[in-house]
């Protein structure tokens, strides 16, 4: 059994090129021209193929190594003749020929020794930043078609490639982008658990939304100082007890007012008729964090409720979700959704639209900030919001106006705006 050494081929002017991937492992049977490793320079990434076939006996390099021409990649065991001898015999047979001369003399045949096979490097032009971005998403730059000059791959090309690879049919992802090099258990102890039923149901919906809807997310900071002062001063006239009303109730009231002023946000796209459906009702969805997973039930006719009634409806609906007693129909027929992380923490994030709705409002945790107003330093309560919307219906200018309007509804004149 012969042993063959596979070396780094001629890479031109490149020196000390980093190994970013090892594509084979010891004991693996490989074919000629099968990719062995991936090298990355400042300008491109390169896959180095094998010049022979056989079984990998020993791998001599690791990820992170710096290599040059002639460095040993690995050793192969081969049960048959080497590829050079095979090619030499085949070429000799083609080259050998009989030449008839006038006197029927036979001229000695000339043997031509074939050149040793050389590795054909597969290359793709992309910046290190783009290649890193592709690796993080589990995509191979060499498989991506570049739209930039000379076929150079951009970050947008990577995003489009990922979207083209992920298709959803019947609630299942047809093609899996992510590819593991080694099983998780090779690196330590692991534990397998079933995906909760709620997450199994919502997962395909989230994938469909993210891949099919062109999301745009705008962020805004709203001064809610006066609103918070009012909310904390509420009390029962007869008992004298404090009335606790969640800020989400005030935000819901303000959102309904904004939906009335900007009807494109209270709409859906009808793909069958290729038309926009404008809703005349105001049913708000609320993301509820439960032990079973995230649920988004709807509260109907919020425009007809008072601040207190909205707060009570939120408590009741959240309880039904946690106890799994809510009717399935209550997850459908919404105008727009609110996803609030204010009770946990964080500021800005990118909420994913809940189709067939076209927008979602993300709420962060409010915080105090010192501001200079009328020549004085004062402390103000600031609420961070994140608004994601479908760019097919809503453009950036309208999204900005929506945020400004919402800020006014929750600002110092909130009582007048909301008619509290």
Instruction: Output b/e per residue, 251-277; b: 16+ Cβ within 10 A.
Output: bbbbbbbbbeebebbbbbbeeeeeeee
Which tokens in the block code for residue 53? 């076939």
Catalytic residues: 391
The DSSP bridge partners found for residue 370 are 379
CA dist., res. 130 & res. 82, Å (int): 39
Which tokens in the block code for residue 394? 């809503």
CA dist., res. 262 & res. 279, Å (int): 12
251, 338 in Cβ contact below 8 A? yes
CA dist., res. 233 & res. 237, Å (int): 12
Specify the 3-state DSSP secondary structure of 345. coil
Which tokens in the block code for residue 144? 């991506």
DSSP tally for the chain: helices H, then strands E? 9, 22
CA dist., res. 51 & res. 37, Å (int): 13
Q: What's the DSSP call for residue 32? A: T
266, 336 in Cβ contact below 8 A? yes
216, 399 in Cβ contact below 8 A? yes
144, 153 in Cβ contact below 8 A? yes
124 φ/ψ angles, rounded to the nearest 5 degrees: -150, 125
Rg over CA atoms, the chain: 33
Q: What's the DSSP call for residue 411? A: S
CA dist., res. 336 & res. 359, Å (int): 6
DSSP collapsed to 3 states, 271-339: CCCCEEEECCCCCEEECEEECCEEECCEECCHHHCCHHHHHHHHHHHHHHHHCCCCCHHHHCCCCEEEE
Q: Nearest CA to 351 among 402, 292, 314, 296?
A: 296
Residue with tokens 């460095």: 71
């Amino acid at each position: 059994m012969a042993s063959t050494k596979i070396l780094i081929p001629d890479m031109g002017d490149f020196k000390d090129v980093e190994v970013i991937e090892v594509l084979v492992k010891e004991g693996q049977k490989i074919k000629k021209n099968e990719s062995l490793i991936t090298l990355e320079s400042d300008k491109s990434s390169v896959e180095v193929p094998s010049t022979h076939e056989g079984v990998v006996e020993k791998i001599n390099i690791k990820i992170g190594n710096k290599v040059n021409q002639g460095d040993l990649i690995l050793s192969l065991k081969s049960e048959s003749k080497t590829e050079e001898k095979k090619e030499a015999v085949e070429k000799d047979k083609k080259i050998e020929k009989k030449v008839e001369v006038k006197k029927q003399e036979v001229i000695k045949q000339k043997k031509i020794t074939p050149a040793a096979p050389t590795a054909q490097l597969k290359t793709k032009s992309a910046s290190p930043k783009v290649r890193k971005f592709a690796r993080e998403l589990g995509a191979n730059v060499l498989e991506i078609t570049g739209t930039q000059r000379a076929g150079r791959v951009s970050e947008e090309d990577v995003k489009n490639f990922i979207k083209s690879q992920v298709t959803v049919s019947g609630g299942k992802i047809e093609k899996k982008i992510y590819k593991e090099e080694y099983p998780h258990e090779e690196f330590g102890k692991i534990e397998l658990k079933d995906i909760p039923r709620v997450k199994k149901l919502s997962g395909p919906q989230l994938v469909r939304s993210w891949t099919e809807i062109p999301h745009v997310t705008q962020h805004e900071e709203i001064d809610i100082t006066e609103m918070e002062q009012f909310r904390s001063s509420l009390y029962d006239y007869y008992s004298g007890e404090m009335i606790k009303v969640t800020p989400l109730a005030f935000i819901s009231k303000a959102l309904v007012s904004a939906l009335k002023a900007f009807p494109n946000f209270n709409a859906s796209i009808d793909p069958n008729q290729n038309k926009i459906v404008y809703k005349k009702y105001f049913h708000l969805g609320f993301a509820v964090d439960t032990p079973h997973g995230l649920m988004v039930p709807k509260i109907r006719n919020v425009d007809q409720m008072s601040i207190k009634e909205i707060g009570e409806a939120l408590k009741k609906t959240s309880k039904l979700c946690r106890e799994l007693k809510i009717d399935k129909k209550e997850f459908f027929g919404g105008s727009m959704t609110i996803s609030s992380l204010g009770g946990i923490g964080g500021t800005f994030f990118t909420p994913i639209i809940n189709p067939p709705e076209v927008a979602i409002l993300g709420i962060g945790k409010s915080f105090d900030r010192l501001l200079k107003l009328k020549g004085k330093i004062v402390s103000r309560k600031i609420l961070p919001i994140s608004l994601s919307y479908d760019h097919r219906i809503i453009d950036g200018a309208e999204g900005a106006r929506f945020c400004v309007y919402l800020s006014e509804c929750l600002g110092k004149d909130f009582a007048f705006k909301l008619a509290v």
